[in-house]
Amino acid sequence: MTIEQAQQQIDEWIKTTGVRYFGELTNLGILMEEVGELSRLMVRTYGEQSFKESDKGKEIADEMADILWVLLCLANQTGVNLTEALQKNFEKKNYRDAERHKENPKLKDD
């Protein structure tokens, strides 16, 4: 599935099953909540914190998909073509960061 197809499928789902989009600010809040859920799971999986009973059974992939879903909703609501935006972002990073990371002593192997 391409990003464009995902945006289209989400738009179709919202219009047929989801009734309507939540407002943009509501979706922004939901996005932050979903990022927090991913953060909590990552900290418990890869960090030092232990799992709580309420964390068990949750999957990183599902949390990432929740974030992507809401981000695609926001893109649809604001008229952003994420395929084009990502392509432009690659161009920006390739121009701006062409040598930046290679010259970063913090990223060099010892």
**35 occurs within a structural domain:** yes
Per-residue confidence (pLDDT) for residue 110, from 0 to 100: 57
**44 occurs within a structural domain:** yes
**94 occurs within a structural domain:** no
- 46: pLDDT strictly greater than 60: yes
For residues 88 and 94, give the distance between their C-alpha atoms in angstroms, rounded to a whole number: 10
Q: What percent of the chain has pLDDT over 90?
A: 76
Mean pLDDT across the chain: 94
- Domain span including residue 11: 3-80
**26 occurs within a structural domain:** yes
**68 occurs within a structural domain:** yes
Q: pLDDT digit string (tens) for 55-64? A: 888 999 999 9
pTM across the whole model: 0.87
Q: State the total domains in the chain.
A: 1
**106 occurs within a structural domain:** no
Q: Position 78: which residue type?
A: T
For residues 66 and 53, give the distance between their C-alpha atoms in angstroms, rounded to a whole number: 21
Q: What mean pLDDT do residues 90-97 have? A: 89
- For position 71, which CATH number holds? 1.10.287.1080
Q: Position 65: which residue type?
A: A
- Cβ atoms of 6 and 72 closer than 8 Å: yes
Per-residue confidence (pLDDT) for residue 102, from 0 to 100: 82
List all residues 6 or more positions away from 20 whose beta carbon is below 8 Å from its beta carbon. Answer: 14
